[in-house]
């Protein structure tokens, strides 16, 4: 009898506003054995572990996820503090990995990476430390690679049109205007020389 009442109470506490499907998920948390089934910290642990299993998350992302599930702030903070202590949440490592993979994979410049880290709730100092590891020369090399790749599809365009499009592409990826101009002009000049040979 008490189990049934507890389930109803949990549904009201953590999922009633999200509909029946959400309530059923929250009624079966994978918490610690010593926790009561509807304990907010147990539910918070279950939510966090599920999200962290899918992909690394920042503390801010988990705060938002727990708030959306109706987890009380105190319970959320207790779980997040513990997960930070044991290394399951590590914003510095997240920022470093994010910067490295996004710079290499997408060719994003420092400014764009800083905006992405900010949107993910990374502290400014932590983001700054991760961004400081980027080699400025590597950033310009990335810009040059992006331009060379795009130039292949621009052979029929007038130089001023190609220049405008290439500068726009680099601006969207966060490259400073001086770097963009230098790379685009150099690449177009090299391409003209190649064609004239």
Question: How confident is the model over 49-98, as pLDDT tens digits?
Answer: 999 999 999 999 999 999 999 999 999 999 999 999 999 999 999 999 99
Distance of CA 189 to the CA centre of its chain: 37
Provide DSSP, 74-125.
Answer: HHHHHHHHHHHHTTS--HHHHHHHHHHHHHHHH---HHHHHHHHHHTT--HH
pTM greater than 0.85:
no
CB 119 within 8 A of CB 102: no
* Sequence spans of domains, the chain: 2-85, 91-131, 136-196
The burial class, CB within 10 Å (0-12 / 13-18 / 19+), for 35 is middle
**How would you write the pLDDT of the chain (197 residues) with one tens digit per residue?**
444 444 444 443 444 344 434 443 444 344 444 444 578 999 999 999 999 999 999 999 999 999 999 999 999 999 999 999 999 999 999 999 999 889 888 889 999 999 999 999 999 999 999 999 988 788 888 899 999 999 888 878 888 899 999 999 999 999 999 999 999 999 888 887 777 65
120: Cβ contacts below 8 Å, ≥ 6 apart:
58, 60, 61, 94, 98
User: In whole angstroms, what is the distance from residue 66 CA to residue 76 CA?
Assistant: 7
105: Cβ contacts below 8 Å, ≥ 6 apart:
none
Report the pLDDT value the prediction gives residue 55, as an integer from 0 to 100. 92
């Amino acid at each position: 009898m008490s189990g049934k009442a507890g389930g109803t109470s949990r549904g009201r506490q953590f999922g009633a506003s999200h509909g029946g499907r959400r309530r059923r998920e929250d009624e079966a948390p994978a918490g610690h054995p010593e926790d009561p089934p509807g304990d907010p910290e147990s539910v918070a642990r279950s939510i966090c572990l599920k999200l962290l299993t899918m992909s690394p998350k920042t503390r801010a992302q988990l705060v938002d996820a727990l708030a959306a599930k109706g987890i009380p702030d105190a319970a959320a903070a207790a779980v997040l503090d513990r997960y930070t202590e044991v290394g399951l949440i590590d914003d510095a490592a997240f920022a470093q990995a994010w910067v490295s993979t996004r710079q290499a994979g997408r060719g994003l410049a420092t400014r764009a990476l800083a905006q992405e880290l900010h949107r993910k709730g990374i502290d400014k100092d932590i983001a700054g430390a991760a961004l400081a590891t980027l080699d400025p020369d590597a950033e310009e090399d990335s810009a040059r690679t992006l331009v060379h790749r795009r130039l292949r599809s621009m052979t029929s365009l007038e130089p001023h049109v190609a220049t405008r499009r290439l500068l726009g592409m680099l601006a969207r990826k966060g490259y400073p205007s001086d770097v963009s101009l230098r790379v685009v002009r150099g690449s177009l000049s090299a391409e003209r020389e190649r064609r004239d040979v």
